[in-house]
Amino acid sequence: MRTTRPTILPLARSLVFAGLAACAGNAFADVTLYTTREPGLIQPILEQFTKDTGIKANTVFVKDGLLERVKAEGDKSPADVLMTVDIGNLIDLVQGGVTQPVESKVLNETIPANLRGSEGHWYTLSMRDRVAYVSNEVDVKELTYESLADPKWKGKFCTRSGQHPYNTGLIAAFIAHNGIEAAEEWLRGLKANLGRKPTGGDRDVARDILGGICDVGIANAYYVGRMKNSEPGTDARKWGDAIHVVRPTFAKDSSQGTHVNISGAAVARHAPNRDDAIKLLEYLVSEQAQHLYANANYEYPVRAGVALDPVVASFGTLVVDPLPLAEIAKHRKQASELVDKVGFDQ
């Protein structure tokens, strides 16, 4: 008896191919984001991105070991975009070989050259200026980073651990501007001025200023936006209302710029959806997305001309230190070693 192979009718065949095409379409309509940021901070932006583009952004929160995870996944990694905070973490991804260069007119025209990788391996999405929190009972409107080591602040200065990336970033910038010897002298001066052991977070600086432990401290500006926009009567609101922000500059630099750290992103080396990954990065620096960064997270937008939250706007215009962040990041190891050498956290 002769057996015959089953045949696929023209209609059935067309349905099969249509289904395959739909699956392929869905694959190319997704982009996977690996991020060290709490997803809740950027979820509103990603949801708007999907509404505007039809591209779904799948978020994978990686608290620690982002570089190690992507390396272990190799060319099978589903990651399209790698997002993190702190320039050091971004540079580590580039040096670890898990990013790829991107050429985008939108990104290059929107983001200043000192805030992106020279070969397109990473891009700044928002800025976090490292500022001085000053007690409202102290009449100070201008400061340099150098002046915080002045003995007049003895017993009146507070900050978080010197080994925290926010502070090693600032120390690295100080080294880049003034040299390692001057940075050591400065750091010893800061240590001598400490009103309490470097610990806690940036908001604890404001808390301790309210508590009379210190008069001035170093912390990120966006936390002030959060505190001053908290509900009246809450602890956070009380801390925020006890201080004002002064943006220090480097005394020896005629540009008079304030040090910033960043949140930023890169396209993963083996991104399955490279084109959509670039679309996501371009969207994240659009006026709409940058408005959300500025008014939901209180971070300073990297795009010029974006309206700021009123609290952040009250700090005045941010003039960013023009020294390339990649140059500052080269001194991170020296900065960390210096913290230990002077016993800053002890």
Tokens coding 132: 């001085």
Residues 6+ apart with CB under 8 A from 180: 334, 338
Tokens coding 5: 């192979």
* Helix, coil or strand: residue 8: coil
What is the C-alpha to C-alpha distance for residues 239 and 136, in angstroms, rounded to an integer?
11
Q: Is 223 annotated as a binding residue?
A: yes
Tokens coding 193: 């001025």
What is the C-alpha to C-alpha distance for residues 239 and 309, in angstroms, rounded to an integer?
19
| Rg over CA atoms, the chain | 24
The amino acid occupying position 57 is: A
Q: What DSSP assignment string belongs to 37-73?
A: S-HHHHHHHHHHHHHHHS-EEEEEE--S-HHHHHHHH
CA distances from 156 to 112, 162, 193, 204, 241 (A): 36, 17, 6, 14, 19
The most distant pair of C-alpha atoms in the chain lies apart, rounded to whole Å, by 104
CA-wise closest residue to 103 among 79, 90, 121, 77: 121
HSE-up of residue 140 (Cα within 13 Å, Cβ side) = 22
Backbone angles phi, psi at 330, to 5 degrees: -65, -20
Q: Is 283 annotated as a binding residue?
A: no
- Cβ atoms within 10 Å, residue 260: 29
Binding annotation for Fe cation: 222-223
Binding annotation: 222-223
